[in-house]
Structures are given as structure tokens and as C-alpha cells.
């Protein structure tokens, strides 16, 4: 029975790996070969991949956005380069974009000269404008508008942003200057307005970084179970009965796995989280042992946040936490006895 279960688990894991590989391949090749004009994917004359790469070179974090405006999160920066008027002017898109701007967010718009008067957003600016500022960069005009709590930055001379013209124009300087004025590092280039669309963010994107880390840890745990078998970690094969395992057995197993991967911050993070959870109330009481514990935990936080790979320091911190835990346990035994 155990062998059959192991075979089933291995089959599921294999299917999962194949599915993941296919998903990655699909996402990489989704739009390959038919990139529309004015897209950051397009490396040809009429694309704007060069401005996308320039954004990254200047220290920003450029990303591509493929969803309707209702999925735009707050405190992000959206760049709309020559948006398709039929998509941009949809009633639902107008409503969601307007609400997003009024919450205090920022849109950088590089419109098409021929269709600029038909874009709904200029009617909104005329009705709700609180202030405006005009900045000239060479032959590029950058105009800022305050709309509610948000901002709209309109940049003209759209042809100068094309790959074929960027090097010989002031468009790059004007654009980076606009990014500096926003003070936002994550820059989302809107590809939804170029008909490179997805109806909604996928589950992987929705769960965020924290959720992704949890999923990765679960997958690692499943792989470890498949490799080690269905017995508890460290159990003697000759045993024919179940016995109670140490309370932090899974913690130790994951820590050993991370150590083999040289993921030292994750090793310490596991024990740090366990210690915080178990002795959180104890740490709220003042005393010399509590002071040592708080100091050691602060050193652990610096190690984890700094992404250190110093193995000697890791061992020292783990040893200090273990000693403090032993002293806490001895103190508790005296109280109960």
C-alpha cells in the first residue's frame, strides 16, 4: 500500500512539473511573432522596447500590464503609450481609471496626435484640474495635471519614443525625468491598450510574494516526502509502530533542506519564527534573559533582511537562540515544580 501511495505521489509531482514547464513555455511564447506597433514587446522600428529597457537601465523596475483598469493596484505608476482609443474610451475602463486616479495615483500618457481630442481623459482634466505644470525638455513638452488627489502627465511628440527615433531625440531624457518626478520605482507599461490582453490576473499573481513563498515551501516539502518516503523524517525502517516525534521536527527538516541549498536566511527565518511564536508572551516581561533574547532576535532580523550568506554567523545566532530557549525552559520547570 505504501509503495502504491509513493508511486501516486511521484506521478502527481511529475505531472505538476510538466504542467509548470508548459505554463512557463506558454507565457513566454504567448505573443511571440505578432507584436503590435507601439508595444514594449516590439523590438522593431515601430515598437517601444528601447524605452522599456532604458527604464530598467536607469534603476527602475519596469513591468507589463495586461488587464483592465479595475485590476490596477494603488501606489503604482501606469504608462499608456498611444492607447487604442476604442479600448481606452470604453465606459467601464473610463470609470475604473477615473476612480484609480482620484485615489491619488499617477498616469503617464503619451497620446496619438491625431486622436488626442477624442480621449475622454482630457474632458476630465478640463473639469477637475486643480493645477498644472509645463516642463520643456528639448523639443519635448511634458505637462503635469493635478486631478483630485492624483496626477496625469501628458508627453507629446509620440513618434520620438519609437525604437527607430529614441536615440536621436530628447524623448528618453523627458521620460526618465517624468519618472523621477513621480518618485515611484515600479513602472507598469500598459499593454492592455495595445490588445495584448488577459481578462484577469492569474492565481499566481493574485496570491502575491508571500503566497508564492508558501506554495514553494509546500512543493519543497512534498518533494522531500516523496524522496524520503511516507515514514516520518529520521524514523528507523525497522520500527513497525508510530511514535511521537519532537515538536519541531518539521522545522528542523526544512532547515536542513534550506541549509543544503545554502539558503541560510531561510534556515534562520524558520527557527526565528518558531521562537517568536512560542515565547512571544515571555518576551513581553522585563528581565536580563528577556533583554538577551530581544537583542539576539534583532541580530537575527538583520541577518534575514540583509540576505547574509555567512555560515559562521548563522551558527552563532542559532546557538544563542538555543541557549536562551534552554534557559527559558529551565526557568519554567522551576516555576511549575
Cβ atoms of 119 and 88 within 8 Å: the answer is yes
User: Strand, helix or coil at 326?
Assistant: helix
Give the residue carrying C-alpha cell 465606459: 91
Evaluate if residue 242 carries a pLDDT over 50. no
Provide the b/e sequence for 64-96 (b: ≥16 CB within 10 Å).
bbbbbbebbeeeebbbbbbbbbeebeeeebbeb
For helices 311-336 and 288-305, give the axis angle rounded to 10 degrees. 150
Could you report the per-residue pLDDT of 253-285, keeping only the tens digit for each? 555 555 555 567 777 787 788 888 888 777 777
- What pLDDT was estimated at residue 313? 84
- What pLDDT was estimated at residue 28? 46
Cβ atoms of 271 and 318 within 8 Å: the answer is yes
- What pLDDT was estimated at residue 191? 95
Confidence grade of residue 240 (pLDDT, cut at 50, 70, 90): very low
Is this model's pTM higher than 0.75 or not? no
Q: What percent of the chain has pLDDT over 70?
A: 72
Could you report the per-residue pLDDT of 109-157, keeping only the tens digit for each? 999 999 999 999 999 999 999 999 999 999 999 999 999 999 999 999 9
Amino acid at each position: 500500500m505504501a509503495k502504491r501511495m509513493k508511486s501516486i505521489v511521484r506521478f502527481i509531482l511529475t505531472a505538476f512539473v510538466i504542467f509548470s514547464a508548459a505554463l512557463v513555455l506558454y507565457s513566454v511564447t504567448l505573443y511571440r511573432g505578432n507584436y503590435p506597433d507601439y508595444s514594449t514587446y516590439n523590438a522593431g522600428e515601430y515598437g517601444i522596447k528601447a524605452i522599456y529597457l532604458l527604464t530598467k537601465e536607469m534603476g527602475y523596475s519596469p513591468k507589463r500590464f495586461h488587464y483592465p483598469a479595475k485590476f490596477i493596484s494603488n501606489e503604482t505608476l501606469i504608462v499608456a503609450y498611444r492607447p487604442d482609443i476604442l479600448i481606452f474610451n470604453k465606459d467601464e475602463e473610463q470609470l475604473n481609471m477615473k476612480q484609480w486616479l482620484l485615489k491619488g495615483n499617477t498616469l503617464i500618457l503619451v497620446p496619438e496626435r491625431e486622436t488626442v481630442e477624442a480621449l475622454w481623459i482630457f474632458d476630465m482634466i478640463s473639469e477637475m484640474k486643480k493645477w498644472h505644470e509645463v516642463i520643456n525638455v528639448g523639443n519635448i513638452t511634458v505637462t503635469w495635471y493635478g486631478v483630485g488627489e492624483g496626477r496625469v502627465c501628458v508627453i507629446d511628440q509620440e513618434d520620438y519614443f519609437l525604437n527607430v527615433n529614441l536615440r536621436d531625440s530628447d524623448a528618453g531624457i523627458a521620460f526618465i525625468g517624468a519618472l523621477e518626478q513621480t518618485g515611484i520605482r515600479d513602472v507598469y507599461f500598459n499593454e492592455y491598450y495595445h490588445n495584448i490582453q488577459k481578462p484577469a490576473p492569474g492565481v499566481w499573481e493574485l496570491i502575491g510574494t508571500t503566497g508564492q513563498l508558501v506554495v514553494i515551501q509546500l512543493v519543497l516539502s512534498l518533494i522531500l516526502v516523496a524522496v524520503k518516503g511516507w515514514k516520518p523524517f529520521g524514523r528507523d525502517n525497522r520500527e513497525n509502530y508510530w511514535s511521537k516525534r519532537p515538536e519541531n521536527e518539521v522545522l528542523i527538516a526544512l532547515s536542513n533542506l534550506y541549509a543544503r541549498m545554502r539558503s541560510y536566511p531561510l534556515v534562520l527565518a524558520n527557527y526565528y519564527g518558531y521562537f517568536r511564536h512560542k515565547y512571544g508572551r515571555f518576551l513581553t516581561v522585563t528581565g536580563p534573559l528577556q533583554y538577551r533574547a530581544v537583542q539576539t532576535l534583532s541580530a537575527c532580523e538583520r541577518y534575514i533582511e540583509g540576505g547574509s550568506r555567512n555560515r559562521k554567523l548563522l551558527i552563532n545566532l542559532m546557538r544563542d537562540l538555543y541557549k536562551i530557549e534552554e534557559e527559558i525552559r529551565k526557568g519554567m520547570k522551576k516555576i511549575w515544580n
